Amino acid sequence: MLENYFPVLLFILVGLVFGLVPMVLGRLVGPHRPDDQKLSAYECGFEAFEDARMKFDVRYYLIAILFILFDLEIAFLFPWATVFRELIAAGAVAWFVFAAVMTFLVVLVVGYIVEWKNGALDWE
């Protein structure tokens, strides 16, 4: 019974070896000469001059959420596009699937137009 788990254990051990051995070798073999410049906080090439708890503009979050939303919706089209030829060969179900995807695209385009008209995509 336990011999069934041997490949899993071997996979974990090989993964640990490939992950830990380069780090240990780099620490042992590589030069280690820290100075003030290397140990200083790095943020975009200059020292931070504001509080870390400053407020961000909501537009950053809005654009990020809209990007994720539309990106994921477009990603749903790839599986459909890969099997569409097979769906055409299936016959009557192809029109139903085609209509469902076109409805999905219409909702996607309407959502995009609404966001555009509301000014969510404008950056001032």
Alpha carbon 124 to its chain centroid, in Å, reads 26
Q: pLDDT (tens digit, 9 = 90+) per residue, 104-114?
A: 889 888 988 88
* DSSP letter, residue 3: G
Phi, psi (deg, nearest 5) at residue 72: -70, -35
111: which residues sit within 8 A by CB, 6+ positions away? 70
**pTM of the full structure:** 0.48
Q: pLDDT (tens digit, 9 = 90+) per residue, 27-86?
A: 999 988 888 777 776 655 555 566 667 676 777 777 788 888 888 888 888 888 888 888
* DSSP letter, residue 1: -
